[in-house]
Structure 1
């Protein structure tokens, strides 16, 4: 292990740190101290945290050092998006309505991480109810740019090396886009594989729990604990993946930087001996971004019924407009939308007939300048409404000096294979 990285363990990936913690060659206390020093250095500019407790985190780290190994996440600091309930931190869901809300229980995903030995360092900033009204967080690469949303604080905290792992959720693009803007790995597993109990609901058909790390192995480690899927951590490849380059119907919205990232990645994969084929989606898929928005808005109108009825003055204007759109989606339209999604799912075998993974833009380009918007979720809506596993892999930097990368999407029920293939791709890209 590189001496400098041992002196500053915030430079270790979560997977590397986990190995050293299991071997007891790195103490949880030393690791936690390093991240707390990093928070003191970066947080005043990045503003990724809603709350954190250094004293409690250090006490938990010392207790872990004295006791037996707890599990795969033993001693790893964890950031938790402020959409998850936590018994020891307030949960505000990004809204003034819940400014002083203190749950008595952890969300199931948080409890599973603690059971596996993770130390919840604090709560990271989310947008309002995981929608589009941003919090204060800034992009750690340039504070004049957005970090994306809605898992803005989680992605920024990992990118700024204030924490090795963080929880996020995705309804539209809330893991993939902030991962792209902040230059970290973000993984959204297939729909329903990680429990959502104790997570503030926005859309019953779409909300998905996932996470952020600095490598594919990191996100596999984190999400495998919550999904009870130890096989996700076995990243052994039997054969090279076949990659389908998919520009989608929204290619015109991709910036030159996003297009170049996709093309550069294709060339690097071909150099590594990968078969890369062009994939054109069936015409049905052209409607899925709009259908996703309809479903999300309609379900948000129901999920946030109490808030819009009893606290309308505390909702942002953009959220009120979103709920108005949701009310306009009547029952027949909603049934039609879900039927169209089911029809598209039935065509996925055709889409993946010649490839194991699709490769598409993760976002329209580099992070938008300004903090008033969190960016366009366009390039993730299709895959979110289909419930497919998707992963953002950073590949470099664009002309503004901000991160760029690509999104990989696997077939339904292929989370293990998707992680294995993405791990291999990551290794190949890092070699070149």
Structure 2
């Protein structure tokens, strides 16, 4: 097995045991990128010489953090002190802020090697799409807005990568690309230095190739209660299977994946119970739309005034309130979100996790349609942690995932549940 094929967890073990050097791992990733980047187009900035130099420095380090020596990709709307941050906008090509975003600084502080910047939908919001292709089928999208991050991890270019989620931009690309994804509880990871879209929704997330990879970054960010293990086996779990209010928008392969995941868990001895969410949840998708449009007005006002001609029409529409959002609508959306957060949290500890679709189906054809976030936006508004798990293949042989969801600040327990259910739901991981 080549080093680029290792999960972050397996690479970390070899690094700790002295059976792998950081330089060898980084060089292997760079070789994989050189081979595959002409097809996948995951990266907006990469300096192999700098990456190798950083790897050599890591090999010399005496103090070794939880991410020591692990290469990580950074979504190109998250600031990096030594690399451009373009937001995939013509306004900011070549921009160097000269500082790290908080999440990048933490990753560096824990020993990670920042490999490069991954392509994104413009401002991680709308407008221009990433050039990135789905590594399973270059004719299809990897999803958005964390397009390059998901594709790079899925294709073995890098073992870990940062994404962000304001609607469905971390979990949905994970499903389309067949990898593991985590959107933690809103606010537990500092978003300073990442382009703001909607401040009550924006969340830093990440990708890996197994649940243990996701846990490494959770440890780096000191998420709550990681020192309190769940202490259960798979057969002791209680899982709520939730089709949700948008089930009618799920393609047959997404519906089949959810039900298949539920059956696999039942066969492993877990208790799986159908969950019908209370009536107020019927309005949560619309509430997310209102919050997104309302908060997005201010997010792009600076560019609107300073560089109107180069600002994509999508963002002009947001600033000009093309959606017609009123203050009363905004207040009502916030109120409904607060009500539903309490209702959802109250489902625990009756359940250990909620199992629900991660995406509407397979990745769509082309670059323009990055997929509907409707199976993610509700959970983003509720501020709850979500973890994407590969499950099956659709009619075109493309990955289809599911996600498990926990209560606010239940990230640690959700990671423990993922470690138990992933080998059951994802036969590829079990094998």
For normalisation by structure 1, the TM-score amounts to 0.95
Q: Which SS does the other structure have where 2:68 is aligned? A: coil
Provide the residue aligned with 2:101 in structure 1: 107
Q: Which SS does the other structure have where 2:13 is aligned? A: helix
Provide the residue aligned with 1:20 in structure 2: 14
Q: Give me the whole-angstrom Cα distance separating, in 1, the residues matched to 2:346 and 2:81.
A: 46
- Asked whether 1:29 is paired with 2:29, we answer no
Q: Give me the whole-angstrom Cα distance separating, in 1, the residues matched to 2:347 and 2:247.
A: 18
Contact kept in structure 1, 2:77 and 2:124, CA below 8 Å: yes
Could you report, residue by residue, the CA deviation over 1:33-62 in whole angstroms, capped at 9, with x for unpaired residues?
110000001100000000011111111111
Provide the residue aligned with 1:377 in structure 2: 373
* Deviation (angstroms), 1:25: 1.3
Q: What is the RMSD of the two structures over their aligned residues, measured on CA atoms?
A: 1.7
Provide the residue aligned with 1:118 in structure 2: 112
Provide the residue aligned with 2:158 in structure 1: 163
- 1:74–1:291: structure 2 CA closer, same or farther, 3 Å change rule? same
Contact kept in structure 2, 1:294 and 1:326, CA below 8 Å: no
Contact kept in structure 1, 2:188 and 2:223, CA below 8 Å: no
Say which of 96, 100, 117 aligns to 2:90.
96
Consecutive unaligned residues of structure 1, counting only runs of 5 or more, are none
Q: Give me the whole-angstrom Cα distance separating, in 2, the residues matched to 1:234 and 1:373.
A: 41
Q: Which SS does the other structure have where 2:10 is aligned? A: helix
Moved over 6 A (4+): 233-236
Q: Give me the whole-angstrom Cα distance separating, in 2, the residues matched to 1:233 and 1:184.
A: 26
Say which of 41, 62, 66 aligns to 2:60.
66
Say which of 299, 302, 309 aligns to 2:305.
309
* Deviation (angstroms), 1:135: 1.3
- Asked whether 1:368 is paired with 2:364, we answer yes
* Deviation (angstroms), 1:200: 0.9
Q: Give me the whole-angstrom Cα distance separating, in 2, the residues matched to 1:163 and 1:232.
A: 25
Provide the residue aligned with 1:46 in structure 2: 40
Contact kept in structure 2, 1:244 and 1:354, CA below 8 Å: no
Contact kept in structure 1, 2:101 and 2:193, CA below 8 Å: yes
- Asked whether 1:270 is paired with 2:266, we answer yes
Provide the residue aligned with 1:397 in structure 2: 393
Could you report, residue by residue, the CA deviation over 1:119-171 in whole angstroms, capped at 9, with x for unpaired residues?
00100001111113311111010011011001000000000100000001100
- Asked whether 1:139 is paired with 2:134, we answer yes
- 1:153–1:335: structure 2 CA closer, same or farther, 3 Å change rule? same
Provide the residue aligned with 1:221 in structure 2: 216
* Deviation (angstroms), 1:318: 3.0
- Asked whether 1:186 is paired with 2:181, we answer yes
* Deviation (angstroms), 1:319: 3.3
Contact kept in structure 2, 1:216 and 1:422, CA below 8 Å: yes
Provide the residue aligned with 2:327 in structure 1: 331
- 1:156–1:20: structure 2 CA closer, same or farther, 3 Å change rule? same
Q: Give me the whole-angstrom Cα distance separating, in 1, the residues matched to 2:388 and 2:141.
A: 17
Contact kept in structure 1, 2:224 and 2:409, CA below 8 Å: no
Could you report, residue by residue, the CA deviation over 1:338-384 in whole angstroms, capped at 9, with x for unpaired residues?
01111111212444464221111101000001111211000001100
Could you report, residue by residue, the CA deviation over 1:232-271 in whole angstroms, capped at 9, with x for unpaired residues?
4887643432110000111111011001111111111011
- Asked whether 1:427 is paired with 2:411, we answer no
- 1:233–1:23: structure 2 CA closer, same or farther, 3 Å change rule? farther
Say which of 297, 304, 307 aligns to 2:293.
297
Contact kept in structure 1, 2:223 and 2:411, CA below 8 Å: no
Provide the residue aligned with 2:4 in structure 1: 10
Could you report, residue by residue, the CA deviation over 1:298-345 in whole angstroms, capped at 9, with x for unpaired residues?
111111111122222222233333444467222222111101111111
Provide the residue aligned with 2:317 in structure 1: 321
- 1:86–1:397: structure 2 CA closer, same or farther, 3 Å change rule? same
Could you report, residue by residue, the CA deviation over 1:14-35 in whole angstroms, capped at 9, with x for unpaired residues?
0110111112111101111110
Contact kept in structure 2, 1:196 and 1:209, CA below 8 Å: yes
Listed as ranges, the matches of 1:325-364 within 5 Å are: 325=321, 328-352=324-348, 354-364=350-360
- Asked whether 1:415 is paired with 2:415, we answer no
- Asked whether 1:210 is paired with 2:176, we answer no
For normalisation by structure 2, the TM-score amounts to 0.95
Contact kept in structure 2, 1:362 and 1:406, CA below 8 Å: yes
Say which of 234, 238, 241 aligns to 2:232.
238
Q: Give me the whole-angstrom Cα distance separating, in 2, the residues matched to 1:67 and 1:353.
A: 43
